[in-house]
Amino acid sequence: IKEGMPVYGSCAGMILLADRIVDGAVGQETFGGIDMTVRRNAFGRQVDSFESDLNFDGNSMHAVFIRAPWVEELSNSVQILSEVVAADGKAHPVAVRQGSLFATSFHPELTTDLRVHRYFFDQVCAGAIK
């Protein structure tokens, strides 16, 4: 990761790519790399898991959130690709990118929509993510 290898992390992968965690387990560490603070289980516990439509990189798509994190804080070097308005009435980033690192708090692999994975693949192939 530190050498620039492209990495995509979904849900727990977003937590692992975050530089900082809120509500992490005692002693929980991350690989880091994205200059953001992520809140674990931000939308609630397992029973609070949900599905929602959202705008990803300019396109509407359906997303599955399971005990999902959200981005609590991020630096100007982190690009927001999607946000969700939560029960607290605030928009929270749920898809972000910084350099060669890409993360979502939702699970695109649980749908038949390949656009999130295609986005990462296309960015790597275009050299936008090196």
Collapsing DSSP to helix, strand or coil, 99 comes out as: coil
d(CA 127, CA 24) in angstroms, rounded, equals 34
Q: Is 92 known to be catalytic?
A: no
Q: Which of 62, 72, 73, 107 is catalytic?
A: 107
Q: Which residues of 43-56 are buried (b: 16+ CB within 10 A; e: fewer)?
A: beeeeeeeeeebeb
Q: Which of 29, 109, 117, 125 is catalytic?
A: 109
Q: Is 11 known to be catalytic?
A: yes
Enzyme catalytic residues: 11, 107, 109
